[in-house]
Structure 1
Amino acid sequence: MPDPSSPSSSPVGSSLVHGLSPAPAGRRKVPLTRPLRHPRYRNLWLANMVSNMGTWIQTFASAWLVASISSSASITSLVQTATYVPVFVFALLAGVVADAVHRPKFLFYCNLYMALCAAIMALLAGTGLVAATPVLLLTFCIGIGTAFIWPAWQAAMSGLVEPDEVEAAATLNNLSYNLSAIIGPAVGGVLFGWIGPGALFLANALSFAGLLGVYWSWWREDGPQPQAAEGFRARFVSGVRTAFGCARYRRILRNVCTVFFSTIAFASLLPVYVREVLRMQSSTYGTLMGCLGGGAVLAAFFLPQLRARVDKTGVLAGAMLVYGGMLLAMAASRSLLLLAPLILCGGMAWSATVSTLNAAAQLSFPAEIRARTLSIYLFVMSGGYVAGSLFWGQVAERWGVRAALGTAGACVLANALVLVTGSRKNPL
């Protein structure tokens, strides 16, 4: 159980007056596997890894299916837009709801809804009459479930470990996600042409079974649903006021918006890049997606040592320099032998970026208001993703995918430079 004096279990009062709980006096290395000693966290982590694998299989299948149906770069990039628009639209509402409901019960029903959406997509694809529009619409529907899950999931998971284990837990969560990012696209790349997208969508629907079982057990063990003391409007206002009233949290949000606006170019344009620049097929797309995930998996094992020596701002700036360099190299190269290790390095940088920003957000406020403040983080993040996927899709449509990737890489590098120059006055 968390320490009663920790930010995750302390009273809201004094912590919210200052916006953030005080930072620890010094950094120490927390072993990567330490959060797994908590049984409930461990069970959720394992079940979530299986679900993540299904998600990556569906992500691959949806993007390549739309790229196969339409030759337009802007249409292909809409897969990412359809994924993140619901998060942008519903994140703030989801945060208010997540702080007022019994989280295991809420997460059970959200995951059940997403499993049903994936099953419908599988049924539609199985008919052979699939088109880009219904795939995008069902991707949007699944995104609605994601929007409501994320604040509750983030708040629940950070409450299952000790405060000093939150960064290790965030890294483990990324490790789970990125192990799946290696296996899922690889499986999708091999099987897409053999068994078709319908079977891959069905695999995603079935992958929710483990999570549903864990949430059902947790829900039954925890007893009745608590009643929120405040009304909806009061909870919403207090969450927004608390988040934006804190100068450090505003800096986190600014970095989240600018970083994700630029970095989404990779996910949005990779199918088009493989098809038009490399002139290769779905297996290559799966391989390059797997390289990004492989890099993120490798990063999980050296990030604890790095964080013991370098502050959050330094880790984030260095990661962005590497990721920006990867995008620039993609714009300049057509060699798969060169691209694979470059994207592997980009995956390491991506894991460092996501886990650093995520942990900083999770540790910013106490448990009583954490889902609401995290929902603002997700709102800003998804806004960057949505705007970026639309913008880079249009740039690729007008000037080519290589120009779009190169420009996105330059933006990431510029953001890293701004972060470094302002780090002494405004640390993350």
Structure 2
Amino acid sequence: MHCRLCHLGAMSLAFAPLRHPAFRLLWWANLAANIGLWVQNTGAGWMMTGLDPSPVMVSLVQAASMLPVFLLALPAGAAADIIDRRQYLIAAQAWVLTVASALAVLTWAGWLGPWGLLFFTFCIGMGNALNFPAWAATTPELVPREDLVQAIALNGIGFNLSRAVGPAIGGFVIGLAGTEAAFALNAFCFLVLLLSLLFWKREAPASPLPPEHFLGAMRAGLRFVAASPAMRAAILRACVFFFFTAAVWGLLPLVVRQRLGLGPESYGLMLGVMGAGAVGTGFALPLLRTRLPTRGSMVLAFSLVSSVALALLGVSGHWLPAAVAMLLFGAGWLAAASTLQAAAQFATPAWVRARAIGIYQLCFFGAMTAGAVLWGWAGTQFGVELALLLAAAASGVCAFAVRGWRLDLAPVREAPAVPMPRPEAPAPELGPVLAGDNGRVLEVVRYTVDPTDREDFLAVMREARRVRLRSGAVGWVLLDDVAHPERWIELWSVESWTEHLREAGRLDPADRAVLARAAAFQIGGGPPEAARYLAVEP
């Protein structure tokens, strides 16, 4: 009875985010769009096996859908952070709807060849590339923080539920009415999402500062990721996982058609079995997190599950072991992917979330694109079976190799109650100059530190450097007075006065605790001295 109650509790936790109306509305609409996307992917993959059945061309269908994310993720994330997110998402869905409709019409008319199919697949991928960072950054707006992890998992469940039914629907639609009907169904599903976004009433956060400039926003996003160890760890481990698992996406159509001798309905059902494994795992995630309490252990365990699935698919000559392989692969994919995305979400504050998630997606979709092409080439050179076995072996080895990159954030240490450095207010006569944002701002903090605390102070300042860079600094340096070793100067610069004003709002409690620990080294009474200087042309 106790075990049954635990399972019921886990199921209720799995669905908890759906009690929030806005999340529920967009979750169902996104489910419809994802079903359409999988119908389209099934149609494109199967159509290519008829237009040009070479492993390279079949794998290029997956590469064409993923390459736009590699090219557009960073600018898409920057745009999603500085433009009203609802309007941005509406424009992205309108683009996909238009392209998907054109693809259906051209296929129906018989005017589409293999390279035309790749072109339209690429264009639909462009719309998805614009959509992904904004959608990921929207989730924390729709649910409270305590529901965020499961909301991300529910998004994964929805994606994989669509994977369970979408390919099967696509296979049967193709068998009954042709690939043009599958493409038309995709267009209709994106129309559903577009209408739901029109009904969503988003309250945009108010800010007294003007929006960031586009190029500056991209630079700030890159600096944040470069200075964030947790984000770098999520990116590295995601790249390792997705590079090797891309072998399934690139080679599964050939496994089904050539190795198993089955038709499009069976291809759709294989993808559906994978989706079923992912959905079941998604519902079990709250329970699994009690057995694998750290994100790193969860990713390692299910990376190994995916490796086993790759190997089993490689040696399968019958549909039954191949279906078992796809079931395991779906479980590994959902658990690892949703855990990695949750780690990336928790590592990013709201002001930079879409950009950082865009960079994260740029890296792992780039890894998937490279993996799809590489394993397609390996299938051509060495055969599909050997390519999948090589991917399986390398995946397991690399999963162990990167397990030391921590995905779990360290607990925030309590900030000491010390006076913090406060620069003087700017002179009134410089107000118009500062408002013009015509020069960089150099910020200075002067510390007086007991020489016996030198090593401890340097350790804290290494953390302070990452805090300054994450919050917008374009350069940082720490100077020690050679005549007075107790005197230190911390210098960093930002692109403009407005960027300087944004700094305080970008600091989270962990950042403020680091800066407070640095100020606690000040001796002689009072806080460290702070000042700001504006770069001017002589």
The normalised TM-score by structure 1 is 0.89
Q: Which amino acid aligns with 2:108?
A: G
Structure 1 residue 238: deviation in Å?
Answer: 1.2
Matched, 1:342 2:325: yes
- Equivalence for 1:331: 314
Partner in structure 2 of residue 207 of structure 1? 189
Q: SS state of the match for residue 185, structure 2?
A: helix
CA contact (8 A) 2:101 2:184 kept: yes
Give the 3 Å change call, closer, same or farther, for CA 223–171 of structure 1 in structure 2: closer
Question: What do the CA deviations read for 1:37-93 (whole angstroms, capped 9, x no partner)?
Answer: 111000000111111111110010000000121120000000111011111011111
Match of 2:227 among 218, 222, 245: 245
Equivalent residue number for residue 92 of structure 1: 74
Return the alpha-carbon distance in structure 1 between the equivalents of residues 322 and 402 of structure 2.
27
- Contact 1:92-1:376 at 8 Å conserved across structures: yes
Q: Is the 8 A contact 1:101 1:225 kept in 2?
A: no
- 1:386 alignment partner AA: T
Partner of 2:488: none
Q: In 2 relative to 1, CA 426–172 (structure 1 residues): closer, same or farther, beyond 3 Å?
A: closer
Deviation of 1:290 (Å): 0.7
Ranges of 4+ aligned residues in structure 1 off by more than 2 Å: 221-230, 425-428
- The offset of 1:258, in angstroms, is 1.4
- With over 3 angstroms needed to count, the CA separation of the structure-2 counterparts of 1:223 and 1:301, relative to structure 1, is closer
Which secondary structure does the structure 2 equivalent of 1:280 belong to?
coil
Correspondence 1:159 to 2:141: yes
AA in 1 matched with 2:327: L
Q: Aligned pair in 2 of structure 1 residues 427, 168: CA closer, same or farther (>3 Å)?
A: closer
1:5-20 alignment runs, 5 A limit? none
Per the alignment, do residues 245 and 41 of structure 1 end up closer, same or farther by CA in structure 2, a change over 3 Å counting? same
User: Of 29, 32, 35, which residue of structure 1 is paired with 2:17?
Assistant: 35
State how far apart, in whole Å, the 2-side matches of 1:419 and 1:305 are. Answer: 25
Show the 5 A alignment for 1:68-147.
68-147=50-129
**In the alignment, structure 1 residue 55 sits paired with structure 2 residue 37:** yes
* Aligned residue number for residue 322 of structure 1: 305
Q: In the TM superposition, what is the alpha-carbon distance from 1:427 to its structure 2 partner?
A: 5.5
Deviation at 1:309, TM superposition (A): 3.2
Say which of 327, 335, 348 aligns to 1:365: 348
| Distance (Å, rounded) in 1 between the aligned partners of 2:99 and 2:123 | 7
Distance in structure 2 (CA, Å) of the matches to 1:245 and 1:224: 26
Q: How much does 1:191 deviate?
A: 2.3
Q: Do residues 195 (structure 1) and 182 (structure 2) align?
A: no
TM, length-normalised to structure 2 = 0.71
Cα distance change of structure 1 residues 225 and 58 upon mapping to structure 2, 3 Å threshold: farther
Q: Is the 8 A contact 1:74 1:394 kept in 2?
A: yes
Structure-2 separation of matches of 1:211 and 1:225 = 26
How far apart are 1:405 and its partner, in Å? Answer: 0.8
- Counterparts of 1:380 and 1:299 in 2: how far apart (Å)? 25
Q: Are residues 225 and 123 of structure 1, via their aligned partners in 2, closer, same or farther at CA, if it must alter by over 3 Å?
A: farther
* Distance of 1:348 and 1:258 partners within structure 2: 17
Q: 1:174 aligns with which of 147, 150, 156?
A: 156
User: Relative to structure 2, which stretch is displaced further, 331-340 or 87-96?
Assistant: 331-340
- Distance change >3 Å, CA 224–CA 168, structure 1 → 2: closer
Deviates more, 1:307-316 or 1:287-296: 307-316
Cα distance in 2 for residues equivalent to 1:210 and 1:190? 21
- Between Structure 1 and Structure 2, whose CA radius of gyration is higher? 2
Q: Give secondary structure in 1 for the equivalent of 2:348.
A: coil
Q: Is the 8 A contact 2:171 2:265 kept in 1?
A: yes
Q: CA deviation at 1:234?
A: 2.1
Contact 1:159 1:367 in 2 (8 A): no
Aligned equivalents of 1:318, 1:42: Cα separation in 2: 31
Superimposed CA distance per residue, residues 123-148 of structure 1 (whole angstroms, 9 cap, x where no aligned partner): 01101232111111001001111111
Query: Displacement, 1:426?
Result: 7.4
d(CA) in 1 for partners of 2:64, 2:152: 25
Distance in 2, Cα, partners of 1:75 & 1:225: 48
**One of 289, 296, 299 as aligned partner of 2:271:** 289
Tell me which residue corresponds to 2:440.
none
Q: Which protein has greater RCO, CA pairs closer than 8 Å, 6+ apart?
A: 1
**Unpaired stretches in structure 1, ≥5 consecutive residues:** 1-27
Higher fraction of strand: 2
Q: Against the structure 1 CA distance between its residues 228 and 267, is the aligned structure 2 distance closer, same or farther, given a 3 Å change threshold?
A: farther
Whichever residue aligns with residue 342 of structure 1, its letter is: A
Q: 1:334 to 1:83 in 2, by over 3 A?
A: same
Question: Is this contact kept in 2: 1:100–1:228, CA < 8 A?
Answer: no
Rounded to whole Å, the distance in 2 between the matches of 1:426 and 1:171 is: 16
More helix by share: 1
Distance 1:99 1:146 in 2: 17
Q: How does 1:17-28 map to 2 (within 5 A)?
A: none
Alpha-carbon distance between aligned partners in 2 of 1:297 and 1:353, rounded to the nearest angstrom: 13
Aligned to 1:355: 338
1:66 aligns with 2:81: no
Overall identity of the aligned pairs, in %:
35
Task: Give 3-state SS (helix, strand or coil) of 2:13's partner.
Answer: coil
